[in-house]
Amino acid sequence: MEDKVRLSDIASELGLSTATVSYVLHGKTGMVSERTANRVRQALEERGYLPRAAEVLLAENPAKIVGVVINDHEKYEAHILEDAFIASALNALSAETARRGLQMMVKAVRDLDEIVSFATMWNLEGLVLIGFCSADYKRLRENMRIPFVVYDACGARTERTFAVNIDDRGGGRQVGEYFRRCGHRRALCLADNDEDMDHARWEGFREGFGDGAEFWMIPMAKQERLAFYEARLPALSPFTAIFAVSDYYAVELCHFLTGHGVAVPEEISVCGFDDAPLCAMVYPALTSVRQDTAARAKCALDALRRLRAGEAVEMSVTLPTELVVRGSTRNCDMTLTTEEAD
């Protein structure tokens, strides 16, 4: 049996101190140069080094592990795992990994180097990455050999990377067309950026609604966002319909409006995106664009299996979206819309 690889062995091979190798392993790359960090990562991966904790886990549980890494962006204010979309995505991935006899390990990060260290420390089947941008995926591909699948990778085209996208533009277009059919003439789209999937949702919304569609970029921090709404409350009066690019923003907006005496949907219709379970639980129930999280999880793990086996795969797949109409929207002729059957 081959001797177990030790951290000191790798340090000796590279002519580095054990402390330096340990820093890289645990993501403390600010203490070493990028060139040195890349050398250490490559050596750790090539030699198949596993920390003691990983050895114990793998010895006790021979099932392969899929790592799911989520971008703990500052806008979530340290509550990323409470986000409705993230929770739904994790639930679907958990069910799919269990069905395949795999284990799932979840990690929320703010620094890309943490992902590289995470992949290095564990003998993972592959990674599913959620919430990062295209530039991040390119950088990660240059620093890791492990296959990974990404959610919402607009424009990502890197080797051994598979993107599971949804039809963001089509979903936004459905909302715009629906608002126009309901008789609205001025409609607003709210997002905290105008890039990647949010840009696609806004572009689709504008295409579907036509003249009279406007875009407001809202702050990412909650208190700043509420102050933004407060300051612009009079400016909302021309609009009879609002499309928020996430369910969280839509529910928050409904709460703000009703708290300031603006009735939803009697005065302003509100629609979200993702159709998380809470959409049917809030009042009025939220109209939203549904994405199939179960189908997305299945596509992701199918792609990981093929990438792991060295098989040729398409660079991406785009899954359809569907508008689900509920009580938070209505026609301008005062006739309330009815909730569509699931």
Q: Domains plus CATH for the chain?
A: 1-49 (1.10.260), 54-166+295-321 (3.40.50.2300), 168-291 (3.40.50.2300)
Average pLDDT over all residues of the chain? 85
User: Which of 102, 17, 87, 9 has the alpha carbon at shortest distance from 47?
Assistant: 9
Give the pairing type, strands 213-217 and 187-191. Answer: parallel
* Torsion 257-323-92-191 (CA) sign: negative
3-state class (DSSP) for residue 126? strand
Please check the confidence at residue 147 and state whether its pLDDT lies above 80: yes
C-alpha angle 312-164-203 in degrees, rounded to nearest 5: 130
What are the pLDDT digits (tens) for 164-196?
999 999 999 999 999 999 999 999 999 999 988
3-state class (DSSP) for residue 213? strand
Letter string b/e over residues 53-76, b meaning 16 or more CB atoms within 10 A of that residue's CB:
eeeebbeeeeebbbbbbbbbeebb
What mean pLDDT comes out for the span 310-330?
91
40 vs 19: CA distance, rounded Å:
12
What mean pLDDT comes out for the span 80-93?
92
254: tokens are 């409904």
